[in-house]
């Protein structure tokens, strides 16, 4: 989410720096359910990603069996279910964060969208 007056080049630089800052910082996330069934995942920097409910539904068996692969090395997340125990919502949040981390390893700005 950018300042409106940034040039395209400055917007691209800001986006790449923000993604790098998230990637190289403690991997905190704050997932929030959306009214449409999707999940918004926020980070400690001005960026978000969305886990689409239909994608999660279509790949649920793999998400359920591999969600712990989304944890960072030696990471412990405390949930209401206990240490590194996740319900469906938590599993989808980890999926969103994993997608963000995969993108951050080789980031590329493909489009800049501005609010009209």
pLDDT mean across residues, the chain: 90
CB atoms within 10 A of CB 39: 20
Q: Which residues does 39 contact at the CB level (< 8 Å), separation at least 6?
A: 31, 32, 33, 50, 51, 53, 89, 92, 93, 96
- Which letter does DSSP use for residue 72 in this model? P
| Residues 84-114 pLDDT 10s | 999 999 999 999 999 888 888 899 999 988 8
CA distance 87 to 40: 16
User: What pLDDT, on a 0 to 100 scale, did the predictor assign at position 46?
Assistant: 86
């Amino acid at each position: 989410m950018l300042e409106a007056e940034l040039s395209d080049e400055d917007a691209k630089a800001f986006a790449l720096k923000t993604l790098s800052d998230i990637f190289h910082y403690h991997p905190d996330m704050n997932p929030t359910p959306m009214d449409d069934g999707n999940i918004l995942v926020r980070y400690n920097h001005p960026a978000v990603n969305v886990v689409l409910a239909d994608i999660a539904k279509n790949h649920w068996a793999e998400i359920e069996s591999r969600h712990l692969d989304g944890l960072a090395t030696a990471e412990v997340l405390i949930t209401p279910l206990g240490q590194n125990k996740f319900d469906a919502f938590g599993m989808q949040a980890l999926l969103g964060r994993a997608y963000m981390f995969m993108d951050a390893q080789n980031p590329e700005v493909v489009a800049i969208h501005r609010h009209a």
